[in-house]
Amino acid sequence: MVSVPGVEKRPASYDPYKTTLDGPCLAVARQELHEDDHTREPALAQFREFIAKHPQIVRCRTDSLFLLRFLRRHKFNVLAACAMLEKYLEVLQTASDFFGKVDPQKLTPIIRDRVMVPLGQDQQGRLLVTIRFGEFDPKTTTPEQLSQLIATVMETYLDQERFQVNGIVIIVDFLAASMAHFGIWTLPKLKLVMSATDDILAFRVKQIHLVQLPKYAAMVADFCIAALSTKLQQRIKFHKTLDTLKDDIDPEVLPTIYGGKQSLEEANDKFHKLALSQRDRFLKQSEMYIDLSIPAPNAKNANAALQSSVVDESVIGSFRKLNVD
């Protein structure tokens, strides 16, 4: 049975961390993320203190696996990891129709369409995911459903330490895409989703491969790419044909429809079963809550006395003690 972490911000005790990483993954964590036995425990303790003292955070996971996704994403810069958690909780609440309702059972029809399929681990230990942009029905599928699918895929694999450390490679396949597939996205919805990407994507994105992007979609692609960080923009590669894609992707993991050796249907079924096995965790995690009606620790407030009290009781003061990268 898959364990279901609680969402108490101040639990009676915290889970002791036990690594599931093998030797090569531990070496990557140490060399690229500044993570070892000396940095991990103090960082987790500081992160938990941040959550416990944050005036707006009401409910949040505090288990090691959850917090390590943010710490590893920011190479153990505790300040940056804390800031990302804040944004993550805000997005789950303010854009809940897009990202806050992770339930693979409700998404079964679109999952069966094989729109977004995790393909497994490549030779470098990274998670390979393909997004087949032209495979959903534009007459019945909404941007909210597509965003929920993305969130489901990410949450299904983000608690696996090897992928937190080694990262993810994304293939976006436009082969069967038509103008109708792009047309379901209004500009406000597209802007919302793209602006939230860096806030919720705790994966270390190593590469993004765009395959056979149609010319009429260039303007939409430019808009989306511009919304990404400079680092992510530099990791995007365009492919006019599948031949060049095969030069960059491990053929053992690449599906047969792209000239690889893996069955896309079997990979999708494996993902669906894995996601369903974690449904209880997803539903519990949806109970996390940040109260945005309470002034943020650094927000300006007309009630100076109240604001002073909030700041004093928050973790902002303890930031001076943090040892960050």
Domains of the chain listed by start with CATH number: 23-100+283-302 (1.10.8), 104-280 (3.40.525.10)
Bridge partners of residue 59, in order along the sequence: 8, 289
Task: Give residue 296's pLDDT.
Answer: 82
Q: pLDDT band for 143, please (50, 70, 90 cuts).
A: very high
Q: Which two tokens stand for residue 313?
A: 């009781």
Average pLDDT of span 194-215: 87
Task: Give residue 300's pLDDT.
Answer: 47
150-174 tens-digit pLDDT:
999 999 999 999 999 999 999 999 9
The model's pTM: 0.88
Query: Which sign does the torsion angle of CA 248, 136, 89, 296 carry?
Result: positive
**CA separation for the pair 96, 90 (Å, rounded):** 9
SS3 content of the chain, % helix, strand, coil (to 5): 50, 10, 35
210 near 221, Cβ under 8 Å? yes
Q: Which two tokens stand for residue 155?
A: 């949450």
Name the average pLDDT for the chain: 89
CB count within 10 Å of CB 197 equals 16
154-190: b (≥16 Cβ within 10 Å) or e: bbbbbbbbbbbbbbbbbbbbbeebeeebbebbeeebb
Q: pLDDT band for 1, please (50, 70, 90 cuts).
A: low
At residue 237, the 3 state secondary structure works out as strand
At residue 117, the 3 state secondary structure works out as strand
Q: Which amino acid is at 275?
A: A
318's CB contacts (< 8 A; 6+ apart) are 46, 49, 50, 53
